[in-house]
Chain A
Amino acid sequence: MEQQDNLISEISRRNFVRGAGILAVGVGAAGLSPLQALAAPMAPKKGGTLRVGVVGGTDDIIDAQYLFKMADVIRLNIGWEGLMNFDEKFKPSTVNGLAESVEVKSLTEYVIKMKKGVEFHNGKTMDMDDVIYSWQRMVDPALPGTKAMAAYLNAGGLKKIDANTFKMTLLQPNADWLTTFAQYACTIVPVGYTRTGPQVGTGPYKLKSFTPGVESTHVRHANYWDSGKPYLDAVRVINFSSTDALVNALLAGQVDAAVGVPAALVPAVKKDKKLKVIETSAGKIAPIVLPIDEAPFNDVRVRKALRMMIDRKKIIKQALSGHGTVANDDFSPIDSNYNANGYKEPKQDLAGGLALLKAAGYSKSNPLKFTLWTGSDNYPEVAKAFAEQINSGSGGVAKIEVGVPSDYWDTKYMAKGVGAYTTYWNPKPYLVQAGQMLDVYDETHLAPKGANSPYRKWFEQAVAEPDAAKRRELIKKMQAYHNENGGYIIPFFLNVIDAHSTKVQGIVQRPASLNLDTLGMHFKNVWMA
Chain B
Amino acid sequence: MNKVSREPRPFLDFIGTVWAMRRAKIGVVITGLICVTAAVGPHLAPFTATEFVDMPNSLHISGALFGTDYMGQDVWSRFLMGGGSILFLGAVSTAIGVLGGAMLGVVAAYVKGSLNSIIMRTFDIVIAFPGILWALLLLSMMGTSNWLIILAIVISTVPRVGRIIYGAAVAVVEKDFVSAATAIGESRMRIVFREVLPNVTSTLLVETNLRFTYSIGGIASLAFLGFTSDPTGANWGTMVQENSSAIILQPWGTILPVFAIALLTIGTGLIGDAFSRVSAGIDRGRND
A-side residues, CB < 8 A to B, are 242-244, 247, 251, 262, 264-265, 267-268, 271, 314, 317-319, 321-322, 376, 380-381, 384-385, 387-389, 391-392, 402-407
Contact = CB atoms under 8 A, between A and B. Distances in A.
B48 A392 contact: yes
B249 A402 contact: no
B70 A264 contact: yes
B56 A321 contact: yes
Nearest to A248: B245
A407 B142 CA distance: 11
Nearest to A404: B231
B-side binding surface: helix, strand, loop or mixed? loop
B244 interface: yes
B81 to A, nearest CB: 14
A77 to B, nearest CB: 27
B59 to A, nearest CB: 11
B226 A385 contact: no
A101 to B, nearest CB: 49
A385 B51 CA distance: 9
B287 interface: no
Nearest to B143: A405
Contact of B71 (A268, A385, A391): A385
Given A267-B249, A391-B50, A405-B143, 14 more contacts: A264-B56, A264-B70, A264-B246, A265-B249, A268-B248, A271-B248, A376-B226, A380-B231, A381-B71, A392-B50, A392-B51, A403-B231, A406-B140, A407-B140
B140 A385 contact: no
B55 A317 contact: yes
Interface of B: 48, 50-52, 55-57, 70-72, 140, 143-144, 226, 231-232, 244-246, 248-249
Contact of A265 (B72, B140, B246): B246
A265 B71 contact: no
B232 A317 contact: no
A317 B51 contact: no
Contacts of A403: 231
A268 to B, nearest CB: 5
B231 A385 contact: no
B232 A388 contact: yes
A243 B245 contact: yes
The 3 closest A-B pairs by CB, nearest first: A244-B245, A388-B50, A404-B231
A268 B52 CA distance: 21
Contacts of B70: 264, 381
Which one of B52, B57, B143, B244 has the greatest number of beta carbons of chain A within 10 Å? B52
A407 B50 CA distance: 24
Given A314-B52, A384-B231, A267 B57 contact: yes
